[in-house]
Chain A
């Protein structure tokens, strides 16, 4: 059941993105940016929390979950450290993903050759 809820939630979030790509002229890069900001705003409004409770990884794996993590991390740091938490929290919570993407990106670029498009 947990996996089904996860599948549906993740699927719906991706479907919204697909509809935006097909129906409007928004490029995938803008969609990613839009979804991250939406994740932050929905986190702030308390709307992303129930989505997370229902879909678990279906809500955290899409890029909107990255925005949600940024916001959650900021709030957690504010509660723990006060004002300075506003600046440290977001990146701290998402540091693993960002650092991993940079590191694996660099290694991948070292070992593979560019493809001719």
Chain B
């Protein structure tokens, strides 16, 4: 026992860094890549299946809606947050993560009322996404519109 305490500060630091490297970035990246990639493959499967019956644009919308439905369902039964703990950005970045960011606060804030609880908190995360996404697309749309005349 006593020999364990007779270590220098640098040796102690080494011990700490050796034992705290349990959750390395490499592992996070691996799961983000794997699960993010798999969600995209699932989207591709839905897209290719829909393409047999409808045109490309409709198939693309069906894919988004299907993934959003799946995400809403998994969020409602509290499974998406568990997936998120493993996948990290792999579950945040796909459209399913966007849906989760709408569904999750909707469930969470229901107790504060339907209008000011559920209704206004639904867009806590998705709100900024829409604000900056739509605004930037309009700004670049204006630039495109005028460039078309000049060029």
Give A contacts to B, CB under 8 Å.
Answer: 2-3, 6-15, 17-23, 28-29, 31-33, 35-37, 39-41, 43-44, 55-58, 60-67, 69-71, 73-75, 78, 83, 85-87, 89-91, 96-98, 100-102, 104-115
Residue-wise, chain B 90-123 has the 8 Å CB interface mask toward A (1 for contact) of 1011110111011100111111000000100010
Residues from chain B with a CB closer than 8 A to the CB of A112 are 76-78, 107
B interface, by DSSP: helix, strand, loop or mixed?
Answer: helix
Q: Which of B39, B88, B93 contacts A35 (CB 8 A)?
A: B93
For the complex with contacts A18-B29, A86-B142, 14 further pairs of A-B residues with Cβ separation under 8 Å are A6-B37, A29-B101, A31-B93, A32-B128, A36-B136, A41-B140, A56-B44, A57-B44, A58-B37, A60-B63, A78-B148, A101-B72, A104-B99, A105-B99
Distance of A78 Cα from B36 Cα, bound (Å) = 33
A20 to B10 Cα, complex, angstroms:
30
Q: Is the CB of A15 within 8 A of B103?
A: no
Return the chain B residue nearest A29 by Cβ.
B125
Specify which chain B residues have a CB less than 8 angstroms from the CB of A108 in the assembled complex. 72-73, 75-76, 103, 106-107
Q: Please, how many angstroms separate the alpha-carbon atoms of A69 and B34 in the complex?
A: 24
Q: Which residue from chain A places its CB closest to the CB of B91 in the assembled complex? A: A14
Category for how many chain B residues contact A: 35 or more
| Given contact pairs A17-B89, A44-B143, A104-B69, A11 touches B34 in the complex (Cβ within 8 A) | yes
A22: chain B residues at CB < 8 Å are 25, 28-29
Q: Is B145 a contact partner of A9 (Cβ separation < 8 A)? A: no
Tell me which residues from 1 to 55 in chain B have a Cβ below 8 Å from any Cβ of chain A: 25, 28-29, 32-41, 43-45, 47-48
Which residue of the partner chain, among A2, A62, A85, A105, contacts B94 with CB atoms under 8 Å?
A62
Contact with A along B134-145 (1 / 0, CB 8 A): 101110111111
Asked if residues B94 and A61 are in contact (CB atoms below 8 Å), the reply is yes
The 10 A-B residue pairs whose C-beta atoms are closest, nearest first, are: A14-B36, A10-B40, A11-B37, A17-B89, A104-B72, A18-B32, A18-B89, A96-B61, A109-B106, A11-B33
Cα distance A36–B148 in the bound complex, in angstroms: 24
Q: Which residue of A lies closest to B95 (CB)?
A: A61
A31 contacts which chain B residues (CB < 8 A)? 89, 92-93
> Is there contact, CB below 8 Å, between A86 and B141?
yes
Q: In the complex, what residues of B have CB within 8 A of residue A12's CB?
A: 33
Output the nearest chain A residue to B24 by Cβ-Cβ distance. Answer: A22
Chain B residue contacts of A40, Cβ below 8 A: 133, 136-137, 140
